[in-house]
Amino acid sequence: MQTANIHDPSSIESVYPRSAFDNDARQNARDKEAVEHGVMILSMPDTDGNFSLTRSQRHVGEPDATTHSIFLSPTLDSAEYGALVPSDTGYDGPIEPAEAPQTSGDPYRSFVDSLIQAARGADFPPAPPAESLKGFRGG
């Protein structure tokens, strides 16, 4: 677990560099992938804007809503990074490669911006007091 700051995008880039984004986006673009790759926000920003961030992965069947963390995974258009767009031939690929779409902006920068917005909006409940975790739990 590393610390990043919502006021300093370069701190996020040091935890989750472009190469990690590219790798995760490629893996997430696969059709039958059972695991999503990305990052997890583990704490709300403190008064200085620092929060805990770590590279993570989760099974695609896990629910999106969690109470003590936020998982974000990069996704790209299927034509980006040389992927082929499916055709209507029924063989899961075009006869000729499709032209790459014209994108406005940098997908990595957009992902970092969405990560900052998610961290700003994080509202985790307080941790349970240690006393409530002690003692007999039934049986």
- Residue 116: phi and psi, rounded to 5, are -65, -45
* CA 136 centroid distance within chain: 38
Q: According to the model, what pLDDT value does residue 39 have?
A: 95
The reported pTM is 0.71
- Which value, in Å, is the radius of gyration of the alpha carbons in the chain? 19
Tell me whether strands 50-59 and 35-41 are parallel, antiparallel or unpaired: antiparallel
Token representation of residue 7: 């006021």
Instruction: For the chain of 139 residues, list the mean pLDDT of each consecutive stretch of 10.
Output: 92 94 89 88 93 92 78 73 50 54 75 94 78 68
Q: Rounded to whole angstroms, how far apart are CA atoms 94 and 88?
A: 8
DSSP code of residue 135 = S
